[in-house]
Structure 1
Amino acid sequence: MALQGPIPVSFELLFPHGCYVVGEIQAAKDFEAKRDTQARDKATGLPVWQVPVMDADPSLKATQKTVTIKILSEAEPVVPPPLPGLPISPVEFDGLEVKPYVHQATGRLAYSITARGMRAPRSAKPAPQTKDAA
């Protein structure tokens, strides 16, 4: 099989309705280390950060809405500004990869999602100009 390792995926495919940061960015813990250390990606050596996001897909059950995205970055990523008057920030991720694995406690298929960057969403297409705008 030609596909080995993480599966690259576009933001639009993974979050077609968008997503929102709903918690703080934290250094991911290295559970294999004897000390309390930040995890590093085995393939790149980059530090791993994690942030909880809420999927805006209205068809998802409440228990499926929140997922943790791991971000590989030397510096701590910065959350884009929140929506006016709300505590949540719309966000998009670049360089997304999905790693399937079997969850040891449940025996079910699960997914780890990593990204190479986080940013504010690209602005929507500009509104068409009207005759009065000229």
Structure 2
Amino acid sequence: MAIPRRIPMNHRDVFPHGAYIVDAFEPLADFNANPRPDGSRPQAIDQETNLPLWTVSVFDADPDAGKKDKAVSVKVAAKVQPVPPENKSGTPFTQVEFTGIIAVPWIDDSGIRARLTWSLRALGVQAPGASRGEPKAVA
């Protein structure tokens, strides 16, 4: 079958109603690597870009999203820890747009019934509209 395992997506295809960061970017631990002497894990590296992976929790604002789909993790491949845009909303949620999203399907069989879900990776994060000529707010 010629369907790719990693499917390129646009931000609006994945988050048509917006995406909001709910915490800071953290290094993604590599659970396939051996633990360090102190018990910690090294940071995971993206196999395609060879860049460190960072993870952030994101709230999907789609009103039709199911309970299990409202909060998702997005992994970002970047040389340094990504910096979200300035939050001017007065709430703890920072609206963002991800660039270079890759969706990877996988089976979540941790519940009563197995279900298809998606692992999301991105190459960057920016303020909404930054790629449409609006001012960028992210380094």
Q: CA RMSD in A?
A: 2.0
Kindly indicate whether the alpha-carbon contact (under 8 Å) linking 1:83 and 1:90 is maintained by their aligned counterparts in 2.
no
Structure 1 residue runs of 4+, over 3 Å off?
123-126
Residue 120 of structure 2: which of 113, 118, 124 is its match?
Answer: 113
**Gap regions ≥5 residues in structure 2:** 36-40, 135-139
How many residue pairs match? The answer is 126
| 1:78 lines up with 2:83 in the alignment | yes
Residues 3-24 of structure 1: per-residue CA shift (max 9 Å, x gap): 2220011111111111110111
| CA–CA distance in structure 2, aligned partners of residues 9 and 117 of structure 1 | 13
- CA distance change for structure 1 residues 86 and 39 in 2, over 3 Å: closer, same or farther? same
Q: Percent identical across equivalent pairs?
A: 37
Instruction: Give 2:24's aligned residue.
Output: 24
**Gap regions ≥5 residues in structure 1:** 127-134
| 1:54 lines up with 2:65 in the alignment | no
SS in 2 for 1:92: strand
- CA distance change for structure 1 residues 59 and 110 in 2, over 3 Å: closer, same or farther? closer
TM-score by length of 1: 0.84
| CA–CA distance in structure 2, aligned partners of residues 59 and 84 of structure 1 | 23
Instruction: Give 1:87's aligned residue.
Output: 92
TM-score by length of 2: 0.82
Specify the structure having the higher radius of gyration (Cα): 1
